[in-house]
Amino acid sequence: MGRKIKIRVFKFTNCNDCQAEILKQKKKFSELKNILDFKFEPEKIEKAEIAFVQGSISKEQEIGRLEKIRKNSRYLIALGSCSLFGKAISRISGKKIIASNPIVKYVKVDYALRGCPIIGSEFFEVIKNFIAGKTIRDPEIPVCKECKANNLPCLIKNGKFCAGPITYAGCKAICLKNNAPCVGCRGITRDANLKSWVKKMRENGFEKEALKILEIFNRKP
């Protein structure tokens, strides 16, 4: 048996939901146990092929640890929306806001695995692609495309709130499948028509909620 590929998952300020989604993938772990060396929240920072970083930076002393992780990793991947957007998800969920910053403010990130929480199976797909040397790009399509593919009713057309038209797809419209609106947790697409979306939300009586979403992700209509 050859050398196993080291995969490390480091934690900063977050809710642990992303890690929980990964650990549910028991079948995937079983399939890859002979080729991958996994460690979650290791105390020691060592050389690794891929380091996933979950959570945001809320203390100055954490910056040095993050930089050390970057230095010792061939690839560094932001794991979930907390790491990509900082305090954003605390605001979305209504939990206590912690003054924190996204890891992308301090180090170069090779890829961002979006979601709050992420989709566990997507975690392993990202690993496979990076090991194979494949370039991964976010599809510039909104969640609405996935809603249509799943024949789900449009909340906006029914006068309700939804951030699906401006949010990166990839979640398979999981919130909509569970009768909940999209709140933009995968981030806003680069070419989103924000003015049009805010106008529609205003017409539906949700302008305040729409502007809050844009504030969270540092975008202006």
Distances (CA, A) of 168 to 18, 29, 188, 212, 218: 18, 27, 6, 17, 15
pLDDT for res 220? 87
| pLDDT for res 99 | 62
**Helix, strand, or coil here: 76?**
strand
Domains recognised in the chain with CATH numbers: 5-131 (3.40.50.700), 143-216 (no CATH)
Q: What is the pLDDT of residue 11?
A: 92
pLDDT at 90: 46
Say what the pLDDT of residue 91 is. 46
Residue recorded with tokens 């024949």: 151
Q: How far apart are CA 186 and CA 193, in angstroms?
A: 16
Average pLDDT, 10 consecutive residues per value, the chain (221 residues): 88 86 93 93 94 91 96 96 72 53 94 92 93 86 96 96 96 93 93 96 97 87 88
CA distances (Å), 215 to each of 32, 89, 93, 189, in order? Answer: 40, 12, 14, 15
Task: Give the pLDDT of residue 88.
Answer: 46
For residue 27, the surrounding DSSP H or E stretch is helix 26-32
pLDDT of residue 87: 58
Looking at residue 166, what DSSP letter applies? G
Contact predicate 136/126, CB 8 Å: yes
User: What is the 3-state secondary structure of 100-162?
Assistant: CECHHHCCCCCEEECCCCCCHHHHHHHHHHHHCCCCCCCCCCEHHHHHHHCCCCCCCCCCCCC
Contact predicate 181/161, CB 8 Å = yes
